[in-house]
Chains A and B, each alone.
Chain A
């Protein structure tokens, strides 16, 4: 233990250790969710899913896929805007990694407990869309361009309900710090979802749209746009998008858990156990939401662009705005 504290006191060693954790956790979570998606979708469709890789249950399927991606030729189309094309997956991944900074894993376990945590999280999550837009523009492909522009339109429409439903929680908690929001729920004795059910539902719908998952996967829309902004990507650049998508699913769920479902806290667990169990509780709760997302993915068809926009502007934004006002009024009155 002393050794660890000594090591951590050295800035550079600590940095390397932290980077290692980040570099391991994000692909690991991405792979676990990717595998869960394969297996769950198989279950829902009366299939077996991955079976042979790794010998049992195909547990090594995602590792095999990863190795496969690295063996692929790094193709860049002739008409592509080369620097932007190369940077786009990195921007997407950067947004994903940066989002992990403010996820509260347990009491005191957080990379950086920013005072404006939730504001930072919502702002940095839209960085992914910038990367997507870059990918769509730089590919030199019309399908990619349409996909990228769809992603941009989706971001503009769904950022607002996302922020508004988070604002209602911030009003209830009285702080924007992610740890502060969890602690507010601990001291209140109930997760905010009980009072913010509307906000939770709006947040999850908007999060699905932000992640461009079905039913809002218009930027990719395989049957329409071939593969949307991903059409020209292959090899490890594609892997970056692939991992970022699954890691983003987790981080968005973790933020939703923090805001609405009590974060790392579970009633009835003593405080000293919570220090170790916190991350597990958070991961468990997040995976429940991730499961719901996978469930939707294999149940729903895709909406149309105009239906997507009218859902955001005519329903979600007014509802979440009313929710903010109502929450504010109650906060002042009570």
Chain B
């Protein structure tokens, strides 16, 4: 065994704790704790500031959506899937609707696809801005919260203008999208589908989002203490990340260019010019940085998309009562949190026979026992925050 500085430090720590015979303490973090993003509970064995055997306890927010989906019709289920990851409610609808459309072999009009794309990217910006707000707060810096949330509000206003809902838009219909709130009648829905001034407001809002990205870059990445707290902390190597099924920015921060927007063609992403953001070290800072870059990419994507939105109907021809023929499929999409998939089994009725929801946060959270082993208490919060999970997405 070669003796380097780390080994010596390790050995000396071992000898000290053997001499003192210190007793470990069991620390129960959550389910009510300021930094567990809701009702996550961690049970950790704590030796001074160091935590071992961290066990996440989940399920406090289980709402049984998979079971609920079995007793509901397809249009009703979009209201449920909205509430899985409520930070980006809109993005949850896409894979479910796409799955149903795939079994029905329905062609969605290009205009509806573009509207879906724009709103999905807006949801991504909102979700990542929430992360930009909460992550510095978990490290102790309160001010970036307000800068990020202020811009998120602008984007949410746009989402609300189109869909009528800020968090739970419930906007997708099988075969297209709902006619926009306050615009056109149901019979002439393809005439006026986006609210007036939407393109102009979106352009302005995206410019502002790009500006606030620079501001956040200065405010957060320009701060020595934040760098000291995040660089080299919670490093997740590629093989570990892959073995725990990480996805989304958490996986890309480790350097894997895995982005379902490039791989699955559920929305016309290949018609736009954008890059998959990847980090290099897989530490907390890279995960933060990846999300910041993704906000920029999404804003650029939206700017391109609103120039390219084709004219035409926003709804394919579907029967009044939607029945999906017998079949099964799995559709996955790149949600802000990572890969979100629905395994849909249908029996030809009004509602699905069985729905399995593969949520990104659940898999992302599963790495916690590995990532938090031997971490300091402040690093527990830093690593947990950097994985950016939502408990509704974990428990469903």
Determine if A45 and B140 form an interchain contact, defined as CB atoms under 8 angstroms apart.
no
Q: Is B33 in contact with chain A by the CB < 8 A criterion?
A: yes
Interface residues on B, range: 20 to 34
Determine if B34 and A303 form an interchain contact, defined as CB atoms under 8 angstroms apart.
no
A85-111: which have CB < 8 Å to B?
A: none
A-side contacts of B228, CB under 8 Å:
303-304, 307
Assuming the contacts A146-B377, A302-B378, A304-B379, asked whether A217 and B146 have C-beta atoms less than 8 A apart, the reply is no
Assuming the contacts A46-B146, A298-B143, A304-B376, asked whether A224 and B225 have C-beta atoms less than 8 A apart, the reply is no
Q: Is A223 in contact with chain B by the CB < 8 A criterion?
A: yes
Least distance between A220 CB and chain B CB atoms (Å): 10
Determine if A301 and B49 form an interchain contact, defined as CB atoms under 8 angstroms apart.
no
B142 (CB) vs chain A CBs: closest residue:
A298
Assuming the contacts A142-B25, A301-B223, asked whether A224 and B136 have C-beta atoms less than 8 A apart, the reply is no
B1-48: which have CB < 8 Å to A?
A: 25, 27-28, 33-35, 46
Alpha-carbon distance A147/B28, docked complex (angstroms)? 15
Q: Is B343 in contact with chain A by the CB < 8 A criterion?
A: no
Which of B225, B376, B379, B380 has the most chain A CB within a 10 Å cutoff? Answer: B225
Q: Is B156 in contact with chain A by the CB < 8 A criterion?
A: no
Determine if A222 and B379 form an interchain contact, defined as CB atoms under 8 angstroms apart.
no
Alpha-carbon distance A307/B378, docked complex (angstroms)? 11
B90-113: which have CB < 8 Å to A?
A: none
**Which of B35, B49, B146, B225 interacts with A45 by CB under 8 Å?**
B146
Q: Is B370 in contact with chain A by the CB < 8 A criterion?
A: no
Determine if A221 and B140 form an interchain contact, defined as CB atoms under 8 angstroms apart.
yes
A53-77: which have CB < 8 Å to B?
A: none
B-side contacts of A299, CB under 8 Å:
141, 143
A290-311: which have CB < 8 Å to B?
A: 298-307
**Which of A44, A146, A305, A307 interacts with B143 by CB under 8 Å?**
A44
Q: Is A226 in contact with chain B by the CB < 8 A criterion?
A: yes
B225 (CB) vs chain A CBs: closest residue:
A301
As a 0/1 sequence over residues 141 to 176 of chain B, the CB contacts with chain A under 8 angstroms (1 = contact) are: 111011100100000000000000000000000000
Determine if A224 and B381 form an interchain contact, defined as CB atoms under 8 angstroms apart.
yes
Determine if B150 and A302 form an interchain contact, defined as CB atoms under 8 angstroms apart.
no
Determine if B150 and A223 form an interchain contact, defined as CB atoms under 8 angstroms apart.
no
A146 (CB) vs chain B CBs: closest residue:
B377
Determine if B225 and A223 form an interchain contact, defined as CB atoms under 8 angstroms apart.
no
Least distance between B302 CB and chain A CB atoms (Å): 24
Determine if B146 and A223 form an interchain contact, defined as CB atoms under 8 angstroms apart.
no
As a 0/1 sequence over residues 266 to 283 of chain A, the CB contacts with chain B under 8 angstroms (1 = contact) are: 000000000000000000
As a 0/1 sequence over residues 354 to 396 of chain B, the CB contacts with chain A under 8 angstroms (1 = contact) are: 0000000000000000000000111111000000000000000
Determine if B379 and A223 form an interchain contact, defined as CB atoms under 8 angstroms apart.
no
Q: Is B138 in contact with chain A by the CB < 8 A criterion?
A: yes
Which of B34, B140, B377, B378 has the most chain A CB within a 10 Å cutoff? Answer: B140
Q: Is A47 in contact with chain B by the CB < 8 A criterion?
A: yes
Q: Is B276 in contact with chain A by the CB < 8 A criterion?
A: no
Determine if B229 and A222 form an interchain contact, defined as CB atoms under 8 angstroms apart.
no
Least distance between B53 CB and chain A CB atoms (Å): 16
Determine if A45 and B143 form an interchain contact, defined as CB atoms under 8 angstroms apart.
yes
Alpha-carbon distance A303/B229, docked complex (angstroms)? 7
Determine if A221 and B378 form an interchain contact, defined as CB atoms under 8 angstroms apart.
yes
A307 (CB) vs chain B CBs: closest residue:
B228
B-side contacts of A305, CB under 8 Å:
49, 376, 378
Least distance between B46 CB and chain A CB atoms (Å): 8
Q: Is A215 in contact with chain B by the CB < 8 A criterion?
A: yes
Alpha-carbon distance A224/B381, docked complex (angstroms)? 6
Q: Which 4 A-B pairs have the closest CB atoms?
A: A302-B140, A301-B141, A301-B139, A45-B146
Q: List 22 A-B contacts (CB under 8 A).
A: A45-B142, A45-B143, A142-B27, A142-B46, A146-B46, A218-B378, A221-B140, A223-B139, A223-B381, A224-B380, A224-B381, A298-B142, A298-B143, A301-B139, A301-B140, A301-B225, A301-B226, A302-B225, A302-B229, A302-B378, A305-B378, A307-B229
B→A interface (CB under 8 Å): 25, 27-28, 33-35, 46, 49, 136-143, 145-147, 150, 223, 225-226, 228-229, 376-381
Given contacts A214-B141, A226-B34, A307-B228, 12 further A-B contacts (CB under 8 A): A142-B46, A146-B377, A221-B140, A221-B378, A223-B35, A223-B140, A224-B378, A224-B381, A302-B140, A302-B141, A303-B228, A307-B229
